[in-house]
Amino acid sequence: MFNVLQEQEPMLIEQLVRILPDYTWQQVFNAVDVLRRDALLTVTQSDQLSYRVGLNHAGHC
């Protein structure tokens, strides 16, 4: 997931799911949630139904 986001970030979570076909939507969502809580990813709402995911560059030491 990090490699994908480093090359193409930020992106909609739906785009991330399509790029990672070996994982279900729920698995990607859960991973994004955990990484967001650990301050490794940022998640922003791009409109009422879409969320954009990107690396938290400030969190990298």
CA distance 7 to 33: 20
Q: Are 1 and 44 in contact (CB under 8 A)?
A: no
Domains of the chain listed by start with CATH number: 2-59 (1.10.10.10)
Residue 22 phi/psi, 5-degree rounding, is -80, -5
**pLDDT, tens digit, for every residue of 30-46?**
999 998 999 989 999 98
**pLDDT, tens digit, for every residue of 5-28?**
888 879 999 999 999 999 999 999
Residue 61 pLDDT greater than 60, yes or no: no
Q: How far is CA 30 from CA 1, 61, in A?
A: 12, 24
pTM score:
0.77
Long-range contacts of range 39-46, CB-CB < 8 Å, 24 or more positions apart? 41/5, 42/10, 43/13, 44/10, 46/12
